[in-house]
């Protein structure tokens, strides 16, 4: 099956671009967040292509005054170069630097948002993991902080972004849980868990990234921190695969209440204190959503649907609400003792057990579409 992508010199195998190996869970995804520093506006955007499920989907989630307004869409995949789903479309004016997401008004939601990178994207270490003997993750991700411009509109109320609006975007591709999970339960060989923390932080003249993925017993299997001066390329990045993020959970939840990040790139420690003051639910763009989980086929050629919810009304111990981004006040102490203040995102997801924070669970994390 030939598509428009086959006319570009981007092939990786002898097959047409519409095929991506043989794993049904192969995906190719865009993700974005953006916010005003005072938390008055926070938005998420996601778009995924799932070649072997023959589905593509996307969504935008906008939080204003404690309420998330979500527009999600899914359609049968035709051409991977067609990055539109109903009223939503993604444009790439300058690859690796500038991307634009547009929502033509539907069900009261519209937007025109453009992110421009602050530095060249970073490439994170390849994520490869099994649950017992079953392949679970195998993907690559690039991440980039940026400045946002544009506007959103909810039920006729237009909100223009200020010059201070900032955020992050990432691109990932490979194998991860999508669509429906395997109906046969995983045969566990040990307690299961997936612990994830990610802090893509914007400061005045630089970005600081840290992530950690760990086993239920706390063993870290993927970690990286990068310091990126504005306008720089990889040759100017400071990188390390060490660093710690000490975390306290909010009582009765799996959400972070505070954190202290310590990273040393060889010139002395950088320390970041996190004080969360806002919560964004990742299910707004489909993460662990019971109906709109990524790659789900909805039984029709095209489906677009709006859903609203109030953040404070959600059950913190329902799986669909585990994955959050917490907008936080930041205090960065540099190796020379100088300090910088900013606002940034502390993302966390705890699936299954995680002993270092006292989380116990009998969850089969390979069955990701079960509540």
Alpha-carbon Rg for the chain, nearest whole angstrom, is 20
> Mind giving me the DSSP string for 315-367?
-TTSGGGS-EEEEEEEEEE-TTS-EEEEEEEEEEEEEE-BGGGTB-----TT-
Averaged pLDDT, 326-352: 97
Is the model's pLDDT at 371 over the cut of 60? no
Residues facing 220 on adjacent strands:
214
Bridge partners for 304 per DSSP: 73
Indicate whether 187 pLDDT > 90.
Answer: no
* Integer Cα distance of 290 and 308 in angstroms: 15
User: pLDDT > 70: what percent of the chain?
Assistant: 99
**What per-residue confidence (pLDDT) applies to 348?**
98
The mean per-residue pLDDT over the stretch 134-161 comes to 96
* % of the chain beyond a pLDDT of 90: 86
Give the DSSP letter of residue 5.
G
134: pLDDT confidence band, cut at 50, 70 and 90? confident
What mean pLDDT comes out for the span 53-59?
Answer: 97
Gap between the Cα atoms of 200 and 213, Å rounded: 15
Interval 30-50 mean pLDDT: 98
Quick check: 367 pLDDT over 90?
A: no
More confident residue, 185 or 339: 339
Q: What is the pTM of this model?
A: 0.96
User: Per-residue pLDDT for 75 more than 90?
Assistant: yes
Cβ contacts of 345 within 8 Å, gap of 6 or more? 33, 35, 168, 198, 199, 200, 201, 325, 326, 327, 328
Kindly report, residue by residue over 265-318, the tens digit of the pLDDT.
999 999 999 999 999 999 999 999 999 999 999 999 999 999 999 999 999 999
């Amino acid at each position: 099956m030939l598509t428009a992508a086959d006319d570009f010199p981007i092939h990786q195998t002898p097959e047409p671009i519409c095929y991506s190996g043989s794993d049904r869970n192969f995906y190719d995804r865009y993700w974005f967040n953006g916010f005003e520093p005072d938390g008055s506006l926070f938005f998420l955007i996601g778009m995924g292509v799932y070649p072997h499920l023959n589905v593509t989907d996307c969504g935008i989630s906008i939080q204003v005054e404690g309420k998330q307004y979500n527009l999600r869409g899914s359609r049968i995949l035709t051409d991977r170069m067609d990055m539109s789903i109903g009223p939503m479309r993604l444009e790439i004016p300058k690859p690796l630097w500038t991307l634009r997401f547009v929502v033509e008004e539907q069900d009261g939601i519209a937007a025109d948002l453009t992110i421009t990178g602050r530095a060249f994207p970073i490439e994170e270490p390849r994520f490869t993991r099994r649950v017992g003997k079953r392949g679970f993750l195998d993907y690559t991700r690039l991440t980039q902080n940026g400045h946002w411009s544009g506007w959103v509109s909810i039920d006729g109320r237009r909100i223009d972004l200020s010059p201070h609006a900032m955020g992050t975007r990432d691109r990932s591709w490979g194998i991860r849980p999508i669509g429906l999970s395997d109906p046969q339960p995983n045969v566990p060989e040990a307690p299961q868990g997936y612990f994830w923390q990610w802090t893509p932080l914007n400061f005045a003249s630089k970005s600081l990234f840290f992530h950690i993925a760990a086993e239920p017993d706390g063993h870290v299997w993927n970690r990286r921190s990068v310091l990126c001066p504005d306008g720089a390329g990889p040759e100017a990045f400071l990188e390390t695969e060490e660093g710690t993020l000490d975390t306290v959970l909010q009582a009765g939840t799996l959400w972070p209440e505070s954190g202290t990040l310590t990273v040393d790139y060889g010139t002395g420690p950088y320390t970041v204190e996190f004080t969360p003051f806002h919560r964004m639910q990742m299910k707004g763009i489909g993460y662990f959503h019971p109906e709109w989980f990524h790659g789900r086929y909805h039984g029709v050629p095209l489906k677009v649907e709006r859903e609203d919810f109030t953040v404070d009304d959600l059950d913190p111990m329902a799986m669909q609400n585990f994955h959050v981004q917490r907008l936080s006040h930041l205090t960065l102490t540099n190796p020379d003792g100088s300090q910088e203040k900013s606002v940034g995102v502390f993302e966390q997801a705890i699936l299954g057990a995680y002993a270092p924070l006292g989380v116990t669970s009998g969850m089969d994390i390979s069955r990701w579409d079960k509540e």
